Structure 1
Amino acid sequence: MRDFLPAEKARRERVLSVIRQRYRAHGFDEIETPVMEEYSRLHAGIGGDNEKLAYNVLKRGLDADAIRAAADDPSGLADLGLRYDLTVPLARFYASHRAELPAVFRAIQVAPVWRAERPQKGRYRQFMQADIDIMGDASPRAEAELIVATLDAVDALGLEGATVRINDRRALDWMLDSFGFTSDERPGVLITIDKLDKIGPDGVIRELRERGATPAAVDEFYGFLHRPPLPEYDPYGERPIRSVLPDGAPDDVVADLVAIGDAVSAARSDDARIPLVFDPFLVRGMGYYTGTIFELAHPSVEYSLGGGGRYDGMIGRFLGQDVPAVGFSLGFERIVDLVTDSDRATERSIVLVHDRDVPLDELIALKASLTGGGARVRLEQRPKNLKALLERAASDGYMSFATVAPGAAVDALEFKPLA
């Protein structure tokens, strides 16, 4: 968990402002949920490994005997917990307020979440997530809207050139079945396949054999991984999708993937490059995904900048009735490190450096006049070391300064750049 000094906090808020503005432009509405949820919801078996990282809140009023009696049962000690993502709270929110929401609801959530991670570079125990979700739409239109809005937000932040890797859990399940893996061993097999880009095909096959996966299925998978690639010149579409799947891929799954690609391509008609890449081995670890899954990639970094997918079965756990849902989460902490601060140059931010003898009413009047015109203004009394003050102001994001003498008028102030 981290503190943020003023300049960094301002930078983060500028990035969040762009994300919010672009998402709202695409018809999404922002909601807010509590930082805590009921323990039973957070540990309902739908959060994957994140459930193990949840911060749980001790029940009120437990005495020493009650704590000892429940020592082996976490649910007896805790009834609440800090949210580890924004998807579980959203499902609960939708189930609670469905009657007050439109048939197809497009939600924005921008808020912190908490996980008991081992602290290291890029992994924090408190971090910001920026999510958009669509509930009530089972068609590929929902995925297309999410992808277009996300790419628009990333472009607006100056990170042009992003692409979305896309797959479908239904295609993955079908592929594993076609190789001969059993349903019981599928979760472990997916964990290993998810390492393909890290340990390579031979490493995956070796680990599957070490796991004791069905030998004949592993042999089939080995043959598939080492088959010669087919020539394919279209970047995305039915032919390239089928070319990297085993023969006989489900027509409905392929049709959905093609429809998403056609819609995204049409929305970004000014971009000659189709920003989608079909990846038959994209897994994503969340157990609640039921269909399309995707990850945001950018050529400047090797890791993903966000991801999401369809989770049609989650809301039904809270509502008692299934509702189609799909979401896309930006990895805000990773993105904010890549965004340049070029927008600062357009901000009018001023430091007024005054002597001790300038009357207070004059100072406040000058400041009010400048802030009324849209400027950001800080008053500073002239110190012995003016250079140090100005350097600090520049590091805090201020762009110019002016010195103020008694009787000075706004029109007479001489503004000088800090940089």
Structure 2
Amino acid sequence: MNPPRGMRDFLPADKARRERVLAVIRERYRAHGFDEIETPVVEEYGRLHAGIGGDNEKLAYNVLKRGLDAEAIRAAADDPASLTDLGLRYDLTVPLARFYATNRGQLPTVFRSVQIAPVWRAERPQKGRYRQFVQCDIDIIGDASARAEAELIVATLDTLDALKLAGASVRINDRRVLDWMLDTFGFAVDERPGVLITIDKLDKIGPVGVAAELRDRGATTAAVDAFEAFLTRPMTLEFHPYGEAQIRKLLPQGAPDEIVAHLVGIGQAVVAARPGGDGIPLAFDPFLVRGMGYYTGTIFELAHPSVDYSLGGGGRYDGMIGRFLGQDVAAVGFSIGFERIVDLVSADETEGPAAVVLVHDRDVPVHELVAVKAALVASGSRVRLETRTKNLKALLERAAADGYTAFATVGAGTTAATLEVKPLA
């Protein structure tokens, strides 16, 4: 009687913990001026498979058309896509683009949105990877300046601080930088998608491994040689904090001034917003790729010193909304990995209000029980009534597992004033 593979049930204590973390996330995003929206869990098949979702399109759950008979199914044997007209959303960005195109007349010129909702992907289930999971997205639509990226980064870091996950940082790059580098090294346009897939493995297989894999792919020999020489070039040891010096040191000579200035401007704005921080919480990574095909500019990933994997990421996708409107609209978003973050948050940081179990005998009048409970609820406590059982220890252990922190016994004539509350420890 298990749930479907890659999906989970949440017991009351787990659900309460998740909701408390979500409440903090929502509160911080709202404080930074983002407004929450909601979109349907399904979108049209053609929109989800328009070539803008990258590999996620291959993982989409599709919904069969209603009323198909056996003959129609046989006729579509060579074209399974004709059997479906809807699909479950695999991310929140494609639905947001459709939402904006639909409702733009009722939205401000620069629209800051929050979406917190489940998405579905037909992943191969494994530790930390599920087929249904929650995404927490913030996006800014209508602002092409560095201010948009800075607002997203600052709001995200502030949210992690509020969850007591201080010390987070953001790796940042720009897809235009990657395109410029690949052009500089001499990679042909049609081979660049495969080249980027290999470059994305740099931190796992190293420069030699990347060069070997590129050669195995049949990439342009001279370009691979030039790229390998760049990766293995001697580097000076002086440290540069995030800024123009760091960016230019990590790139080939001649990097486009406009792109460098955009990246520098993001850093200046983030530092101005976090003057009390320990250094600049940004690091330029010229080989940060991120696999989503719709990114057109800045890309970033969220890192935390307690783990060796990303806690979120995002980027600029100025071309996506234009697919629906016929005109490009500036857009950039940042998504935090809720399933990963909730596991890192200390239980002490997600404690709710006092939670009390009132254990009573069967002969206590109902009106007295309800009156005592109502008084505690009015004082801000969470309260559950439980009839005393022979095994009181088991009852209290069950209550503790459900997140209750205290208990009291209620007899006939007991009032809220005479109640003796004890910790469940």
TM-score when scaled to structure 2? 0.98
Q: Is the counterpart of residue 400 in structure 1 residue 386 in structure 2?
A: no
Give, in whole Å, the separation in 2 of the partners of 1:30 and 1:231: 46
Q: Is the counterpart of residue 132 in structure 1 residue 144 in structure 2?
A: no
Q: Secondary structure of 1:412's match?
A: coil
Q: Secondary structure of 1:138's match?
A: coil
Which residue of structure 2 aligns with residue 309 of structure 1?
A: 315
User: Does the aligned pair in 2 maintain the 1:351–1:401 contact within 8 Å?
Assistant: yes
Give, in whole Å, the separation in 2 of the partners of 1:408 and 1:416: 15
Q: Note the residue ranges of structure 1 that are not aligned, 5 or more in a row.
A: none
Q: Write the deviation string for residues 297-330 of structure 1: whole angstroms up to 9, x where unpaired.
A: 0011110000000000000001111100000000
Give, in whole Å, the separation in 2 of the partners of 1:232 and 1:294: 24
Which residue of structure 1 aligns with residue 333 of structure 2?
A: 327
Choose which of 219, 223, 227 in structure 2 pairs with 1:221: 227
Q: Is the counterpart of residue 269 in structure 1 residue 271 in structure 2?
A: no
Which residue of structure 2 aligns with residue 367 of structure 1?
A: 373
How many residues of Structure 1 are paired with residues of Structure 2 in the alignment? 419
Which residue of structure 2 aligns with residue 168 of structure 1?
A: 174
Choose which of 227, 244, 264 in structure 2 pairs with 1:258: 264
User: Does the aligned pair in 2 maintain the 1:292–1:310 contact within 8 Å?
Assistant: yes
Which residue of structure 2 aligns with residue 243 of structure 1?
A: 249
Give, in whole Å, the separation in 1 of the partners of 2:369 and 2:78: 64
**In terms of mean alpha carbon deviation, does 110-119 or 388-397 score higher?**
388-397
Q: 1:36–1:218: structure 2 CA closer, same or farther, 3 Å change rule?
A: same
User: Does the aligned pair in 2 maintain the 1:350–1:399 contact within 8 Å?
Assistant: yes
Which residue of structure 1 aligns with residue 359 of structure 2?
A: 353
- Alpha-carbon deviation of 1:345? 4.9
Alignment of 1:41-190 (within 5 A): 41-190=47-196
Q: Is the counterpart of residue 14 in structure 1 residue 24 in structure 2?
A: no
Q: Write the deviation string for residues 346-394 of structure 1: whole angstroms up to 9, x where unpaired.
A: 6211100101110111111111111112110000011111111111111
Q: Which amino acid aligns with 2:267?
A: G
Q: Which amino acid aligns with 1:397?
A: G
Q: Secondary structure of 1:108's match?
A: strand
Q: Which amino acid aligns with 1:379?
A: L
Give, in whole Å, the separation in 2 of the partners of 1:154 and 1:344: 13
Q: Write the deviation string for residues 222-264 of structure 1: whole angstroms up to 9, x where unpaired.
A: 1000001133322110011000000000000000000000000
Q: Secondary structure of 1:72's match?
A: coil
Give, in whole Å, the separation in 2 of the partners of 1:347 and 1:367: 15
Q: Is the counterpart of residue 299 in structure 1 residue 291 in structure 2?
A: no
User: Does the aligned pair in 2 maintain the 1:290–1:310 contact within 8 Å?
Assistant: yes
User: Does the aligned pair in 1 maintain the 2:20–2:350 contact within 8 Å?
Assistant: no
- Alpha-carbon deviation of 1:344? 5.0
Which residue of structure 1 aligns with residue 386 of structure 2?
A: 380
Q: Is the counterpart of residue 5 in structure 1 residue 11 in structure 2?
A: yes
Q: Write the deviation string for residues 194-222 of structure 1: whole angstroms up to 9, x where unpaired.
A: 00111111111110000000000000001
Q: Secondary structure of 1:185's match?
A: helix
Choose which of 386, 389, 392 in structure 1 pairs with 2:395: 389
Which residue of structure 1 aligns with residue 3 of structure 2?
A: none
Which residue of structure 2 aligns with residue 25 of structure 1?
A: 31
TM-score when scaled to structure 1? 0.99
Give, in whole Å, the separation in 1 of the partners of 2:200 and 2:78: 33
Q: Secondary structure of 1:197's match?
A: helix
Percent identical pairs in the alignment equals 77
Q: Secondary structure of 1:88's match?
A: helix
Over aligned residue pairs, what C-alpha RMSD do you find? 0.8
User: Does the aligned pair in 2 maintain the 1:345–1:399 contact within 8 Å?
Assistant: no
Which residue of structure 2 aligns with residue 341 of structure 1?
A: 347
Q: Secondary structure of 1:127's match?
A: strand
Q: Note the residue ranges of structure 2 that are not aligned, 5 or more in a row.
A: 1-6
- Alpha-carbon deviation of 1:164? 0.2
User: Does the aligned pair in 1 maintain the 2:43–2:86 contact within 8 Å?
Assistant: yes
Which residue of structure 1 aligns with residue 291 of structure 2?
A: 285
Give, in whole Å, the separation in 1 of the partners of 2:23 and 2:292: 28
Structure 1 runs (4+) greater than 6 angstroms displaced: none
